[in-house]
Amino acid sequence: MRTASLTRETRETRIEVSVGLDGSGSYDVATGIGFLDHMLEQLSRHSLIDLTVRARGDLHIDFHHTTEDTALAIGQAVSQALGDRGGIVRYGSALIPMDETLSRVAIDISGRPYLIWKVDFSRPKLGEMDTELFKEWFQAFAQASGSTLHVENLYGENNHHIVESCFKGLARALRTAAATDPRAPGAIPSTKGTLGGA
């Protein structure tokens, strides 16, 4: 089993995360931010990555630090669980419809972090969460997991549907990319012989 557990602690947050890449999509998530919990549950269920998250943060200020640090911790745990990334498929993509919304996500878990974010919202908040924080979450996840990540909402009207389709798209793309390749067991999927770096 490719698993990792870690604790990330700063003066602003304490995040405890466990992931199991070869799981069944079971989750136990508590960040103190209801909408973020809902999105992380979607991420776990649709990627089939087992995910446990316990977050305590300075929510009396705002949700920024907890949102970003949760993504950093999850991304770091995913990276650790991947090890040297030998034997993985490496690339994944998903086109996710949700009622009137359609979003596209593509990922390369190469060790080279980069985010392209083409998602707009018509409302400043979903529940109590600022919609601008979703880009921050995806940016932090890409950075910490070592992933090139492209997220694009092709069209949609309902802001809840837009962001949920992005998280589900990441889940399905990551599920494909992190899977072990039965045709190349243990092989590094790069002509360089290594993943990560320039």
Per-residue confidence (pLDDT) for residue 189, from 0 to 100? 84
State yes or no: pLDDT of 197 exceeds 70. no
State yes or no: pLDDT of 102 exceeds 60. yes
Per-residue confidence (pLDDT) for residue 103, from 0 to 100? 98
Per-residue confidence (pLDDT) for residue 31, from 0 to 100? 97
Residue 12 in tokens: 């602003």
Name the percent of the chain lying above pLDDT 90: 87
Residue 63 in tokens: 């949700």
Structure confidence by residue, pLDDT tens digits, 61-96: 899 999 999 999 999 999 999 999 989 999 999 999
Find the largest Cα–Cα distance for the chain.
51
Q: Are 108 and 90 in contact (CB under 8 A)?
A: yes
Residue 66 in tokens: 């907890």
Structure confidence by residue, pLDDT tens digits, 42-65: 999 999 999 999 999 999 989 999
96 vs 189, higher pLDDT: 96
> Measured at the alpha carbon of residue 98, what is the angle toward residues 93 and 99, in degrees to the nearest 5?
150
Which residues contact residue 136 at a Cβ distance below 8 angstroms, ignoring those fewer than 6 apart? Answer: 64, 67, 68, 71
State yes or no: pLDDT of 168 exceeds 70. yes
What is the C-alpha separation between 45 and 39, in angstroms, rounded? 10
Global pTM? 0.95
Structure confidence by residue, pLDDT tens digits, 3-39: 999 999 999 999 999 999 999 999 999 999 999 999 9
CB atoms within 10 A of CB 164: 20
Per-residue confidence (pLDDT) for residue 198, from 0 to 100? 45
State yes or no: pLDDT of 174 exceeds 90. yes
Mean pLDDT, rounded, for 124-145: 96
> Measured at the alpha carbon of residue 85, what is the angle toward residues 83 and 191, in degrees to the nearest 5?
145
According to DSSP H, which parts of 104-189 are helical?
133-145, 159-178
State yes or no: pLDDT of 192 exceeds 90. no
Per-residue confidence (pLDDT) for residue 129, from 0 to 100? 94
CATH of region 3-178, choose from 3.30.230.40, 3.30.9.10, 2.40.10.340, 3.60.21.10: 3.30.230.40
Mean pLDDT, rounded, for 105-131: 96
